[in-house]
Structure formats: C-alpha cells, structure tokens
Amino acid sequence: DAKTTQPNSMESNEEEPVHLPCNHSTISGTDYIHWYRQLPSQGPEYVIHGLTSNVNNRMASLAIAEDRKSSTLILHRATLRDAAVYYCILRDVGETSGSRLTFGEGTQLTVNP
Amino acid sequence: GAGVSQTPSNKVTEKGKYVELRCDPISGHTALYWYRQSLGQGPEFLIYFQGTGAADDSGLPNDRFFAVRPEGSVSTLKIQRTERGDSAVYLCASAPGGVVGETQYFGPGTRLLVL
C-alpha cells in the first residue's frame, strides 16, 4: 500500500483556519486521497476525499497538489469540537470491493480557545 | 437514524479468559469491518464481512481471534485465552454495499482490558 506521512501534532486557535498536510510521494494514479478524523473516545469519522481536483464539503476542503504527491486538509474556522486525530489515507480505486482502511498515526490537532 | 453500536463499551477480563464483543451495524449495510486500536496508534484492520461471509480475515493476529456474522447483520468478535497484549479498543465499522472506496461508518468501540 502507498504510504502517507503526516506531522504528529499541530496546534491552532479557535476560529482560525487550519491546514493539515499529508505527503504521499508514492501515490499511484488510481489512489484516492481520503481523510478521516477521530474525536476523543469515538470511532473515526469520514471527512472528505478526492482524486485530482480540490474538493469542498460542509466539513472541510481538500487541496491536492498538481503532482498529487501531497495534499492539505483545510478547516476554514477551527472550533473546539475539531480537536481530534486526523488521518490521511490512500484508497486504490482498482481494489476489489470492501477494501480496508489503512491508518497511519495521524496528526493530533489541538484547538486553543 | 441509528449509527453503529458496540457492546459492551468497556470490558475488563483476566488473562486466559474468553470474551465476546458485539457490533450492531447500520441497518441495511452489508459490509462490516473490525479494527483494533492500541494506545497512540491508528486503527488496524482485523476482518471484513460481506453479508454473512468473511471476505478478508487476513488481519486477524492468530487463531485465538474469530468473528462471525451469521445473519448478515450483527457481528461478534470472539477472543479465546486472552493475553495482556490483547488490551486495546476494538472498533467496528459498516458500509452500505462493499463498493470500492465507499465511506465506512464507525462505532464508538469496545475498550478491552486484560489483567
């Protein structure tokens, strides 16, 4: 599986934007970039995913580099509820159905009031 | 609607005992996954069910671990002769139909402590 690299931790202030980076230099042409996050004492939850173009949804935006070797999850206005571990995960569209999620250690985001 | 539920939320057992962990997926979801998460680590895949059958059990660490899903809904993860190293949070996730790349919906997990 293609590997992702994320910083262990990041810190932000409430109501400020947060940019969470992910490096995936060995990404293949059929890999989608998925982000999940895990709030304290909860299971992971889906945030966003993309292939080549930047993506926006109600939770966040995903900016994908032109060479696809890196991506950035953007939280436009961090809230205290956004404090979580954020995981960047590659998923191969060519896999058979039911593909597992392969988690790394993720980035622990701290949001200061 | 109801999300994925897992019971018990916490389980304390003694080394050598047998434990069962239960997962109730979202109604209608045919795909079900079990993951294990150790402290400070990301979740690690254990097994995947499509319907009643285990489509991929390559993540089970050894033959002490077994999972069933007899009616294609509720699943039970069974651990025999528990060891202290089995202590972790066991997460269950479900997905609508086993389609490539679909979102997985996670339960809150069962925290297992083996003394």
Read off the pLDDT of residues B53-85 as tens digits, 9 standing for 90 and up.
999 999 999 999 999 999 999 999 999 999 999
Q: Does B109 touch chain A (CB under 8 A)?
A: yes
Helix, coil or strand: residue B1: coil
A-chain residue closest to B33, CA distance: A100
Average pLDDT score, chain B:
95
B-chain residue closest to A39, CA distance: B108
B-chain residue closest to A50, CA distance: B101
User: What percent of chain B shows pLDDT beyond 90?
Assistant: 92
CA distances from A65 to A8, A21, A22, A89 (A): 21, 11, 10, 16
CB-count burial class (<10 Å; 0-12, 13-18, 19+) for A9: exposed
Q: What is the pLDDT of residue A93?
A: 75
Q: Does B46 touch chain A (CB under 8 A)?
A: no
- The pLDDT-based confidence of B43 (bands split at 50, 70, 90) is very high
Q: What is the pLDDT of residue A39?
A: 97
Q: Which residues, 6 or more positions from A29, have their beta carbon under 8 angstroms from its beta carbon?
A: none
Q: What is the pLDDT of residue B105?
A: 96
Please judge whether B43 and A34 are an interchain contact, meaning their C-beta atoms are less than 8 angstroms apart. Answer: no
Q: What is the pLDDT of residue B101?
A: 81
Q: Which residues of A touch B54 (CB under 8 A)?
A: none
pLDDT mean over B31-52:
95
Give tens-digit pLDDT for B7-24: 999 999 999 999 999 999
Q: Does B2 touch chain A (CB under 8 A)?
A: no
Of A32, A43, A97, the CB nearest to B106: A43
Mean pLDDT by 10 residues, chain A (113 residues): 88 97 93 96 96 93 96 97 97 74 95 96
pLDDT at residue B27 is higher than 80 = yes
CA of B62 vs chain A CAs: smallest distance (Å): 19
Q: What is the pLDDT of residue B88?
A: 98
**Beta-bridge partners for B67:** B77
Pairing of strands B44-50, B31-37: antiparallel
- The pLDDT-based confidence of B100 (bands split at 50, 70, 90) is confident
Q: Which residues of A touch B48 (CB under 8 A)?
A: 98, 100
pLDDT mean over B41-56:
94
Q: What whole-number distance in Å separates Cα of residue A10 and Cα of residue A23? A: 15
Q: Which of B104, B110, B111 would you mutate first to test chain A, the one with the most A CBs within 10 A?
A: B104
